[in-house]
Amino acid sequence: MKIKNLNLKEIKIYILFFFTLILSVTGQFLLYNHLIFGLLPFIIACILFIILEIKNEKEIKNITEKINIKIEIFLFLIIFLLGIFYRIYDLKNTPPGFFQDEALASLDALGILHGEKVLFQETSLPVYIKGQVDNPALILYLVVFIFKFFGIGIEQARVASAVIPGILAIPAFYFLARYLFGQRFALIGTFLFSVMRWHIIYSRFFFHASFFVFIIILFLYFFIKSYKERKWLDFILMGFLLGLTQHTYQPVKMIFLWILIFYLYVYLKEKKFLKENYKKIITAFLIAFVVILPLVIHIKKDYKDYFKRIKLLSIFNKDNPENFINGRYSFIKVLFNNTAKTLLMFNFKGDENVRHNYSNKPMLDFITGIFAFFGLGSILIKILTPVPFFLISFFIVSLLGSILNVAAPHATRSIMAIPVIIIFATYFIKKNYLFLNKSKKHIKDVFDIFVIGVLVCCAVLNYRDYFTGYGKQPDLWESFASDQRNAAEYLISLGDNWQAITAHEYGIQYYKSAPFNFVMKSKNKKNYECFELHKHIPVKSQDEKNYVFIFPVGYETMVDLLKKIYPEGIYKPVYKKYNEKFLSHFYFEIKNSSIKNPLIDDIKSGLTGYYYNGEKWQGKLMDKKNDYFIFIHNDPAKITNICSIKWKGKIIAKQEGFYHFQGESEDDVYWDILIDGELLAISPASPGKIYDRKKVFLKQGIHKIEIRCSSYRDIQKMKMFWMPPGASEPPVLVPSEVFIPE
């Protein structure tokens, strides 16, 4: 293109156009670091682009350029294979671990596979999963299918629930984009979708979100098709998919609000559509109702339980402290703050949950973020026309899951917006192409090269942010319960001649121990038991097995005592991956020969425990024994008739300063600490209490100590951790050697 072939008006337009692009890039760059400095040029650039579009709208012609079908298929397959790569590469290690929600859902799938009643259900074929999972059960049946024919395991669970729907969403999106934009821009939009970090994250771990996005894209395709082409088949499929959406993920309930808004718009704008197609619409909704019916029956039976979690996490909940600003509940302020956070999550600051996002980054990469923002602005000026209204209204409703949630911005609860966001970005690219193409001066070739370069950059940015960024976050190891997966796989590798003694966090706690239990159950292994102080120190065993203690960080202070009892035992610490300064968990292996000959007689440490069957250390003294640690964690089904305990003896303070004592108990347990006869720490029973930390000042030396706990019922749990002066988080079990019994 030669400048001399352009008139002055065209030159001014092109200068303004490129200035707008530069301003938008500058704004997005600044927005990464400062909200105001970045948002201002970003908005100015968007306004300038809209002005350009309005002024040149008449001159811009919509080009329906067809691509040879073989070339189209070839290009799509390249994009599709790239999308598959992003969703399966290094799946065994990224993400690490197998976090609790994944494990619980997998255990539910195992229950269905084996014909057992699913937890909290009265059936082995549920339509809805209660408890912590708290979502429709449909995706579990795909997991069951994979388990049955391809084996039981973590990779199988993730492939069935996330990878397969995530991969299928790529061609689904392609057909939606092709219907809206044609071949060329469908390929571009699908490329952006296939490498999108936000979608990749949810396409690689077991959650309902990936399946949800896949079904939503199919629904949107047939919904817009039914509106534009008005064929019976499209309405039937739209109705079926509308019903199916309700079996995916909880926030999808918002879709009925969107349908109401859209048909209200159609009523005001185009009554003829409703008059001519009301039978098809009614049929579609009847089909949807039939598909939803099993879920409706469940909701009718468990109405309160079904909406319990929604209410708990809602900004309408006045009892939720996260809804308070400066100590006062203010719905308007919370709503405003959440709306601002949600709208800014795409370009400024995204979800803070380490599983949902990489390091609080915007949910969109640098380039897609710019394109989507400008595409939204460009479509917004045409909001009164059907397709733009369809897209904008759906986008707004899709964000309500995050806006009305206490944890805004929430990437999972706003994930319904993903297909529309990529459509915005694609629309912006198309408008640029049409704008530049009007001069017919070889712009097409230049634009194609530019777009290819941009797409390559998007692929590189998202690869970097996911595989070398998100996947290697220091906190991701812990967030995905990697210690439990690692510990279970390690125990299995030892063989059946080893019996594990595990922390209760790994053994029997419903939610917390789910990853460890799933891995063990997937291999049909049961060679582990939960730690009991007087049963396992020393280990009381008559069999020929070797034993291994498996405990998470916080219990490493047990090791010194174990080494004294079993000098030949082997201590194996495991550190957090990508954060190797910090302990994750540990193993302490003991061969059977050492188990039979513990060196226990000369050890004089711990406190003397007095166990009573009444509250406040009243009633009958049921037992008196030496406890090496303050460590009680009983199975809830176990009846002990112990309602209060008093531990007495002395404590050695190696240095002067503040000692932070942290009790772990049930919320009905009262506990306190007396030093030299003076009551220095009190932790009253209170609803919701699990951990309570108290600060006690100790002078260097030996002090009398009394630790007491009491409850109106059997004491199920009481553990005492501490942080001496100068120690860092987390607190550790108070070591046996600092105590001297009576």
The number of CA neighbours under 13 Å toward the Cβ of 668 is: 9
Contacts for 601 with CB less than 8 Å, ≥ 6 apart: none
Q: CA 346 to CA 96: how far, in whole Å? A: 26
Q: CA 719 to CA 735: how far, in whole Å? A: 12
Domain ranges of the chain: 60-472, 493-595, 607-741
Please provide residue 180's backbone torsions phi and psi, each rounded to the nearest 5 degrees: -85, -35
Could you please report the per-residue DSSP string of 603-658? ---SEEEEEESSGGG-S-EEEEEEESS-EEE--TT------EEEEEEEEEESSSEE
Q: How far is CA 463 from CA 173, 196, 207, 220, 442, in A?
A: 20, 9, 21, 28, 32
pLDDT value, residue 618: 96
Q: Are 532 and 708 in contact (CB under 8 A)?
A: no
Residues of the chain with pLDDT under 50: 1-4
Q: Are 283 and 239 in contact (CB under 8 A)?
A: yes
User: C-alpha angle with apex 25: 343 to 11, nearest 5 degrees?
Assistant: 125
The strand pair at 644-653 and 607-612 is best described as antiparallel
What's the one-letter identity of residue 494?
Answer: L
Helix, coil or strand: residue 693: strand
Q: CA 55 to CA 529: how far, in whole Å? A: 74
Q: Are 38 and 45 in contact (CB under 8 A)?
A: no
The number of CA neighbours under 13 Å toward the Cβ of 521 is: 21
The strand pair at 546-552 and 498-502 is best described as parallel
Element of type H or E holding 732? strand 732-733
What's the one-letter identity of residue 321?
Answer: P
Burial status of residue 320 (CB atoms within 10 A of its CB: 0-12, 13-18, 19 or more) = middle
Q: CA 284 to CA 233: how far, in whole Å? A: 10
Place of tokens 């949810």: 202
Neighbours of 723 (CB within 10 A): 18
Q: CA 720 to CA 691: how far, in whole Å? A: 10
89 token code pair = 């590469």
Q: CA 623 to CA 642: how far, in whole Å? A: 9
What's the one-letter identity of residue 531?
Answer: F
Q: CA 360 to CA 411: how far, in whole Å? A: 11
- pLDDT for 622-676, tens place per residue? 999 999 999 999 887 788 999 999 999 999 999 999 999 999 999 999 999 999 9
- pLDDT for 495-529, tens place per residue? 999 999 999 999 876 788 999 999 999 999 999 99
Classify domain 607-741 at the CATH superfamily level. Answer: Toxin - Anthrax Protective Antigen;domain 1 (3.90.182.10)
Q: Are 396 and 262 in contact (CB under 8 A)?
A: no
Q: CA 372 to CA 367: how far, in whole Å? A: 9
Using the Cα atoms of residue 309, residue 315, residue 317 and residue 321 in order, give the sign of their dihedral. positive
What's the one-letter identity of residue 730?
Answer: P
Could you please report the per-residue DSSP string of 287-320? HHHHHHHHHHHHHHHSHHHHHHHHHHTBTT-TT-
Neighbours of 489 (CB within 10 A): 14
Place of tokens 């932070």: 660
Q: CA 394 to CA 127: how far, in whole Å? A: 27
Q: CA 82 to CA 196: how far, in whole Å? A: 11
Please provide residue 329's backbone torsions phi and psi, each rounded to the nearest 5 degrees: -80, 125
Place of tokens 């991969």: 167
Q: Calculate helix-pair angle for 254-269, 232-245, nearest 10 degrees.
A: 150
